[in-house]
Amino acid sequence: MARLAGQAGQVVALRSARGTARFCEVQSNPALGSLACEFGNLAAGVYLVEAINTGAGLRLFVDGQGTAEVEFAPGTPEAAPGLPVVGWGAQPNRPAEAAAPAPAATEAGPPSPTTTPTPTLTPPPPPVFAWQGYVVQTTEGVAGAIGVRVLGQKDQAVMLRSGSWQSQPQLTGTKPELGDYATEFGGLAQGEYTVELVGLGELRVRLGPNQFMLVEFRYEPVAPH
């Protein structure tokens, strides 16, 4: 469910990475105690929340289970383009809480020479999650093909790119032989390809002659550099 606050009568659009769009009008909502509109029953994926006629918009990823709340207000900075905001229930990347300021010094006199200040412990930052791709299988001596499996994501759009060539989008779940969340691109020549998980991530691979390759994407913590 996405909850949005704004001016009464404002129309809000919800667009998915697969090209579908839904609309709602901001009205007084007694249950929420504010001006709002809601989108429910959302499948997991990336969505663009856009306040029509204002130019304000925000991309976010929802996991199909939790709740994301977005509020449009004057002067609010826009999110960085291309970086989806992760909703509650989808392992959110929340900033570390700021350390409490040290108490102000009093005028009771100089500290004792033996006084040792207590160090302020800064909590470690929370882990950062992202979709990461891996080559999990290769088979030689077959027709050139690349299978793509996205764990837990059915109907997720996937594309291949190589140089100026680009495939048509395909949805996960159309190749059950490779798993419940897989699709496959066949008839491929050897060469370098970029496997794009539309709106979420990508992986560059090199396909050998007469080779089948299976690429798997997982939503997991990013290793620190």
What's the pLDDT tens digit per position in 11-53? 778 777 666 778 787 787 777 667 788 877 777 778 778 877 7
Handedness of CA 164, 170, 176, 182 (dihedral sign): positive
pLDDT above 50 for 96? no
92 neighbors 67 (Cβ within 8 angstroms): no
Q: Which CATH class is domain 130-220?
A: mainly beta
Q: What is the CATH number of domain 2-86?
A: 2.60.40
pLDDT above 90 for 132? yes
Token pair of 193 as six digits: 């390809």
For residue 55, give Cα distances in angstroms to 23, 49, 51, 132. 15, 11, 7, 31
pTM over 0.75: no
* Phi, psi of 110, rounded to the nearest 5 degrees: -65, 150
Classify strands 211-221 and 145-150 as parallel, antiparallel or unpaired: parallel
204 neighbors 116 (Cβ within 8 angstroms): no
Rounded to an integer, what distance in angstroms lies between the CA atom of residue 10 and that of residue 95?
Answer: 30
Give CB contacts under 8 A, 24+ apart, made by 118-127. 122/96, 123/96, 123/97, 124/96, 125/95, 125/96, 126/93, 126/94, 126/95, 126/96, 127/221, 127/222
